[in-house]
Every structure is written in structure tokens, then in C-alpha cells.
């Protein structure tokens, strides 16, 4: 299964395309905060029906800390949201679909 990052999800939704896969709870938050308040519930329900939702759990939290430490040591930190999404993908053993250059680090 693939974990779809916010960058891919937003582009696909604009095109009316829904890839098979999962999204993280972080991606859901990033998408919903950009939606008009009166449409959030509808969009949230649509995304939850279209994708399996992968939440941040204890394993992902530990992966996050390990990744954070490694990137900090290299002085190459990325945005927390991106690091959290990557941590969920690693913890759940999912391929990450993204267009975000930060994930190349």
C-alpha cells in the first residue's frame, strides 16, 4: 500500500482523481486547514471514505524522533509535518507518494 502525501493528494483532488492508498492524519489536517470552514466536514468525510487513514501512533512517534535526530545531526531538518508524514510511512512500511523535495533528504 502507498501513503499519499499532501502534495500529491491536493493535486489529485483538484483533478478529480483518487489514487488507491492511504493518507496520514497529518495530511488530513493539512488539507482541511486550507478548506473553507463550512466545507470541512464534507471534505473530511469524502477523504475518509476514499482513503484509509493512518494515524500517528507510538511506533511512528519513535521513528519521528530517530529521523529528527539524524537530520538534526546533519543540519538538514525539514518541516515537522513532512517529518511526521515520513514517520508514519516508515512505521507502517508504506511507500510514500510525494512531489515534495524535502523527502529526498
Q: What is the pLDDT of residue 17?
A: 83
Range of the domain at 37: 2-99
Asked whether the beta carbons of 67 and 9 are under 8 A apart, the reply is no
Asked whether the beta carbons of 5 and 81 are under 8 A apart, the reply is no
Q: What is the pLDDT of residue 101?
A: 64
Q: What is the pLDDT of residue 40?
A: 96
Q: Is residue 105 included in any domain, yes or no?
A: no
Q: Could you give the percent of the chain with pLDDT greater than 90? A: 79
Q: Is residue 104 included in any domain, yes or no?
A: no
Asked whether the beta carbons of 67 and 87 are under 8 A apart, the reply is yes
Q: For residue 2, give the 3-state DSSP assignment.
A: strand
Question: Which CATH number covers residue 72?
Answer: 3.40.50.1010
Q: Is residue 12 included in any domain, yes or no?
A: yes
Q: How many domains does the chain have?
A: 1
Q: Is residue 46 included in any domain, yes or no?
A: yes
Q: What is the pLDDT of residue 12?
A: 86
Convert the pLDDT of each residue in 60-103 to its tens digit.
Answer: 999 999 999 999 999 989 999 999 999 999 999 999 998 866 55
Q: What is the pLDDT of residue 103?
A: 53
Amino acid at each position: 500500500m502507498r501513503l499519499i502525501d499532501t502534495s500529491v493528494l491536493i493535486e489529485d483532488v483538484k483533478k478529480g482523481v483518487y489514487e488507491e492508498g492511504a493518507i496520514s492524519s497529518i495530511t488530513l489536517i493539512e488539507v482541511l486547514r486550507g478548506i473553507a470552514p463550512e466545507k470541512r466536514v464534507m471534505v473530511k468525510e469524502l477523504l475518509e471514505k476514499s482513503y484509509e487513514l493512518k494515524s500517528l501512533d507510538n511506533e511512528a512517534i519513535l521513528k519521528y524522533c530517530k529521523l529528527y535526530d539524524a537530520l538534526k545531526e546533519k543540519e538538514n531538518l525539514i518541516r515537522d509535518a513532512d517529518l511526521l508524514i515520513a514517520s508514519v510511512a516508515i512505521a507502517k512500511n508504506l511507500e510514500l507518494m510525494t512531489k515534495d523535495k524535502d523527502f529526498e533528504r
